[in-house]
């Protein structure tokens, strides 16, 4: 990823009021980070933050946490927040594999996965954010009536994800391989940077919603 090594990114994150430095210390107490106690939605692999910031602006009655592994990518989101602060959003720089160490049982109401790394080699399948291994992690933090939403333009990854949902013991609530032409699932859709880029090129966008 070309933005990984921006000089000063890690220092900027440490000094930012919008980024939680020791997230494991907030486990079970995430609502303390916000002005109001509200449903908690998280995006894993948020990139530059367009989706989650747009969601936070549209839904002030929901608290959001954006998770990004790479500091130089997260820096872009922090820069946007400096220009347009939102009280109902915080960021974490961390590896998604540690998600259950940061959030407590039933602490999260909804999980968003948008245009995740496909990890195309078979031997890396367990690293995909829609693998059964990651669903097991989500199972530890998501409320019983919570949902997971996943979007991608990668058809192979989407097929894999559809197969993993039942294998993980979850239920597929809805799915489409052409989101922008699906009147039901596209209603209220908020696009990511990648979604806008890929759809402009003519790539159909896939989406699934899963629960337990």
- Mark the binding-site residues for S-adenosyl-L-methionine, compressed into ranges: 43, 68, 95, 117
- Mark the binding-site residues, compressed into ranges: 43, 68, 95, 117, 121, 153, 192-195
Percent of the chain with pLDDT over 90: 89
Annotate 39-52 with b (16+ C-beta within 10 A) or e (fewer).
ebbbbbbbbbbbbb
Percent of the chain with pLDDT over 70: 97
In a domain, 1, yes or no: no
Decide: 184 and 209 in contact? Cβ < 8 Å: no
Is residue 178 among the annotated active site residues? no
Q: Which of 62, 58, 64 is nearest to 39 (CA)?
A: 62
In a domain, 4, yes or no: no
Find the mean pLDDT for residues 165-186.
98
In a domain, 21, yes or no: no
Residue 152 lies in domain = 38-211
How many independent structural domains does the chain possess? 1
Q: What is the pTM of this model?
A: 0.94
Give pLDDT tens digits for 74-106: 999 999 999 999 999 999 999 999 999 999 999
Instruction: List the catalytic residue out of 117, 139, 173, 178.
Output: 117
Decide: 24 and 103 in contact? Cβ < 8 Å: no
In a domain, 133, yes or no: yes
pLDDT higher than threshold 60 for residue 147: yes
In a domain, 22, yes or no: no
Domain of residue 114, CATH code: 3.40.50.150
In a domain, 24, yes or no: no
What pLDDT, on the 0 to 100 scale, is given for residue 163?
98
Find the mean pLDDT for residues 162-187.
98
In a domain, 101, yes or no: yes
In a domain, 91, yes or no: yes
What pLDDT, on the 0 to 100 scale, is given for residue 3?
44
Q: Which of 134, 187, 184 is nearest to 164 (CA)?
A: 134
């Amino acid at each position: 990823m070309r933005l990984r090594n921006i000089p000063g990114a890690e220092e900027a994150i440490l000094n930012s009021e919008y980024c939680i430095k020791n997230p494991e210390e907030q486990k079970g107490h995430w609502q303390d980070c916000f002005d109001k106690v509200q449903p908690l939605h998280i995006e894993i692999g948020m990139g530059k933050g367009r989706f989650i910031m747009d969601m936070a602006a549209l839904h002030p009655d929901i608290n959001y946490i954006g998770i990004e592994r790479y500091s130089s990518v997260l820096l872009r989101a922090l820069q946007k927040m400096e220009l347009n602060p939102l009280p109902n959003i915080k960021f974490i720089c961390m590896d998604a594999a540690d998600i259950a160490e940061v959030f407590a049982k039933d602490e999260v109401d909804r999980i968003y996965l948008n245009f995740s790394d496909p990890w195309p080699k078979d031997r890396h399948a367990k690293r995909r954010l829609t693998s059964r291994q990651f669903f097991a992690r989500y199972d530890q933090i998501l409320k019983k009536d919570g949902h997971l939403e996943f979007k991608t333009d990668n058809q192979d990854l989407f097929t894999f994800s559809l197969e993993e949902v039942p294998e993980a013991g979850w239920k597929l609530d809805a799915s489409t391989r052409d989101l922008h032409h699906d009147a039901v699932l596209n209603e209220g859709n908020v696009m990511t940077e990648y979604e806008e880029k890929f759809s402009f090129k003519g790539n159909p966008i896939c989406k699934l919603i899963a629960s337990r």
